[in-house]
Amino acid sequence: MRQSNAYKIIFVSMIMLAITIMVSFYRDAENRRAEGEKFLFPDLSEATDKDSLKLLNDIAEIQVINNNSKFSIKRNKDNWFLPSLANFPVPLDKIKRVIVGIAQLEAIEPKTKNPELHGQLGLNNEQSKINSASSITLINEKSQKIASILVGNDSKFGKETRYVRKPDNDQTWLVWRNFDIPKNGIDWLDDTLFSIHRGRVADITIIHPDGHEVLIQRGSYAEQYFKIQNLDDDTLPINPYVGNQLGSTLDNISLVNIALKKDIMFSSDAVTIVYTTFDGIKLTIKNQNINGLNWVSFVANADINLRRELPKDGPINVGLPEMDSFKKVEEEAIKLNNKFSNWVFTLNNEKHTILKSRIEDLTKKKDLEKKE
């Protein structure tokens, strides 16, 4: 019993010591912050304090290199874009977060200068196959490098801090983690291209090139389930929720790849999918495998004739989105087409598959159900 108690005391003491070390580290770090920590790029930090917008406008390109990929984000007069992804626009907030984050990179303390130890911090040169860093470089309109930093591992003290170093310097630093570097071009984009809530969707029509057609409908705005139409008496939905899967397909459309519309030509073999909403949106989708990749195109229209107004007492089911005015629906269609107009997209395989559904994919025969 005494031995057991001794072990407990030792265990508790070790925990208290670890907590004390952690508190001491963060207290010292906070004191350094209060006194004014050393910025790795003091000129940029000062420029940010004076005018962050001017700093953003001074940067014309962001280069990213890691062992997965190498790409640039560039700026023209109107916006930031990804040349490697058909010049698709990059959200300004992500650009600003990275540029300002680099400019205000604060050093907590210096770490090793020994290149042989860089790998332990994830700070080997980006060309290295093992423990390599991610490199990010800011370039101005004169093609001059304004700042460049290698970003390594999170520190042992947690994700609030991490290790960095400058490419031309062996000195490593523990810094505050105030930005992240998306490692692939697609990760610089918004997480969602667009989203149409299932509660808005009224009808879904899937038209195959051989004439096969699938029609799925929701009878009213308050109805919870989508129903497959035109089934014969011997055919049932494969499960009660299969229609809702299609109804939810436009929730949070995220991207895998992007190409210019002029470079991807849809043929008569494409599957056409039409979504209509109770508030008056018609979204037409072309879905086809071209040269080994699945591609989709989108076209949005606002049509007052498709609109089915809610009864004055509103929808029965709590949680359904309120119906926007038709003016807002028209504005939404314009915004959607601005996103779609010049590009086609690859989605995840599950989305492509469900958008090519045939009746036999969604149903089963009654006699099979009886045998079960």
Q: Do 14 and 59 belong to one domain?
A: no
Show pLDDT as tens, one digit a residue, over the chain (372 residues).
Answer: 555 555 555 555 566 655 555 555 454 544 444 444 588 998 888 777 666 677 788 899 999 998 878 999 999 987 999 999 999 999 999 999 999 999 999 999 999 999 999 999 999 887 777 778 999 999 999 999 999 999 999 988 777 899 999 998 999 999 998 888 888 999 999 989 999 999 899 999 999 999 999 999 998 888 889 999 999 888 999 998 999 999 999 998 999 999 999 999 999 999 999 999 999 999 999 999 999 999 999 999 999 999 987 765 555 555 666 788 999 999 999 999 999 989 999 999 999 999 999 999 999 988 644 544
Q: Do 51 and 139 belong to one domain?
A: yes
Q: Do 157 and 239 belong to one domain?
A: no
Q: Looking at the domain assignment, is residue 193 inside a domain?
A: no
Q: Do 222 and 309 belong to one domain?
A: yes
Nearest of 105, 113, 177 to residue 147 by alpha carbon: 105
User: What gap in Å lies between CA 327 and CA 32, rounded to an integer?
Assistant: 54
For 69, residues 6+ apart whose C-beta sits below 8 A from its C-beta are 183, 184, 185
Query: What is the reported pLDDT for 178?
Result: 82
Q: Do 53 and 24 belong to one domain?
A: no
Query: What is the reported pLDDT for 183?
Result: 85
Q: Looking at the domain assignment, is residue 59 inside a domain?
A: yes
The parent domain of residue 2 ranges over 1-36
Q: Looking at the domain assignment, is residue 316 inside a domain?
A: yes
Q: What is the count of structural domains for the chain?
A: 3
Q: Do 352 and 327 belong to one domain?
A: yes
Q: Do 325 and 289 belong to one domain?
A: yes
Q: Do 31 and 42 belong to one domain?
A: no
Q: Do 127 and 30 belong to one domain?
A: no
User: In the beta sheet, which residues pair with residue 176?
Assistant: 161
Q: Do 360 and 238 belong to one domain?
A: yes
Q: Looking at the domain assignment, is residue 297 inside a domain?
A: yes
Q: Do 267 and 235 belong to one domain?
A: yes
Query: What is the reported pLDDT for 267?
Result: 97
Q: Do 170 and 230 belong to one domain?
A: no
Residue 309's alpha-carbon distances to 108, 316, 325, 328, 331, in angstroms, are 59, 14, 10, 14, 18
Determine whether 347 is exposed, middle or buried from the number of CB atoms within 10 Å of its CB (0-12, 13-18, 19+): buried
Q: 193 — alpha (psi -120 to 50), left (phi > 0) or beta?
A: alpha
For 370, residues 6+ apart whose C-beta sits below 8 A from its C-beta are none
